[in-house]
Structure 1
Amino acid sequence: MSERPAPSIRDAYRVFRAIPTRWLDNDIYGHMNNAVHYTLFDTSVNCWLIENGLLDIHGGDRIGLVVETGCRYFAEMGYPDMITSGLKVAKLGTSSVRYEIGLFRNDETVAAAEGFFVHVYVDKKTRKPAPLETPFRRALEGISA
């Protein structure tokens, strides 16, 4: 069995977003349900893409489909915590991107959870992989680790 990686610190990420937790994020055990972590990952990635003019969810020709995802949990989070998500690009392919996201509880500097999403960008109509265009690739390179 391999050794469990240690959680990252905030400096490992390139861009950040504050996301408040909600009452409904807690589960019966009194902490944030594991499925909420994936919602926060999705929010972090897609908000960054939209804010940077890289994703038009209504009129764009290209969309990113999640083909792989994962999460490591290091510490509990829950309502009423303020979560800061850190985002970076770990790998760029021809039509794919591996985004890595750290979730930080309140003002803590060590990640409470870390995860990743691999998006394959496809033509919205055909669902066939579409190469990353130069401006899109350059923007992603700007937040690469």
Structure 2
Amino acid sequence: MDRPDRSAFALFRPADTRWMDNDAYGHLNNVVYYGLFDTSVNAHLIEAGVLDQMGSEVFGVVAETGCRYFGSVGFPDRLEVGLAVERLGRSSATYRLGVFRQGDDLVAAAGRFVHVYVDRQTRRPAEVPAAVRALLEPLVRA
């Protein structure tokens, strides 16, 4: 995998590091990146009004995540998380995510995050809701 730059992403969300995010080696602990991915995707959905975490009849559950590290970041860095959609299927969305130090052109970490949409009651796969699909389609990048 090549190191992605900003052109691989459709939008960017600010993210601040916290004192407790650093590990004993002085950089962001690897689990923090997954929190940044989860928060960025779901905040985008919530702010757009297509996800009500307590009331949506259909919502995405994480089926797969992954991350590749290219550089180090840590507190007190200001970050930006790039989002794009690699694939928008019938019942799933695969996100491409990138953690950038604010102003950098190349990612410090590149991630993959798959939401499988399920019915709240049955927990069985369901179609991506039309409003979610409409929000995500402009983010699709090959």
TM range (shorter): over 0.9
Can you list the C-alpha shifts for 1:75-94, whole angstroms capped at 9, x where unaligned?
00000001100001100111
Superposed displacement of residue 39, structure 1: 0.2
Can you list the C-alpha shifts for 1:110-136, whole angstroms capped at 9, x where unaligned?
000000111100011210111123332
| Cα distance in 2 between the residues matched to 1:32 and 1:95 | 33
Superposed displacement of residue 138, structure 1: 1.9
1:82 maps to 2:82:
no
Percent of residue pairs bearing the same amino acid type: 50
Structure 2: which amino acid aligns with 1:85?
V
Preserved contact between residue 58 and residue 129 of structure 2 (Cα < 8 Å): no
TM-score (normalizing by structure 1)? 0.94
Can you list the C-alpha shifts for 1:34-87, whole angstroms capped at 9, x where unaligned?
000000000110011111111111211112111111000000000000110000
Structure 1: which amino acid aligns with 2:140?
S
Taking the TM superposition and a 5 Å limit, the aligned residue runs for 1:77-116 are 77-116=73-112
Superposed displacement of residue 31, structure 1: 0.5
Structure 1: which amino acid aligns with 2:28?
M
| Cα distance in 2 between the residues matched to 1:112 and 1:133 | 32
Preserved contact between residue 101 and residue 108 of structure 2 (Cα < 8 Å): yes
Superposed displacement of residue 18, structure 1: 0.7
Gaps of 5+ in 2: none
Secondary structure of 1:142 counterpart = helix
| Cα distance in 2 between the residues matched to 1:45 and 1:7 | 21
Runs of 4+ in 1 over 6 A off after TM superposition: none
Secondary structure of 1:37 counterpart = helix
Could you say which residue in structure 2 is the equivalent of 1:122? 118
TM-score (normalizing by structure 2)? 0.96
Taking the TM superposition and a 5 Å limit, the aligned residue runs for 1:1-145 are 5-145=1-141
Gaps of 5+ in 1: none
| Cα distance in 2 between the residues matched to 1:66 and 1:94 | 16
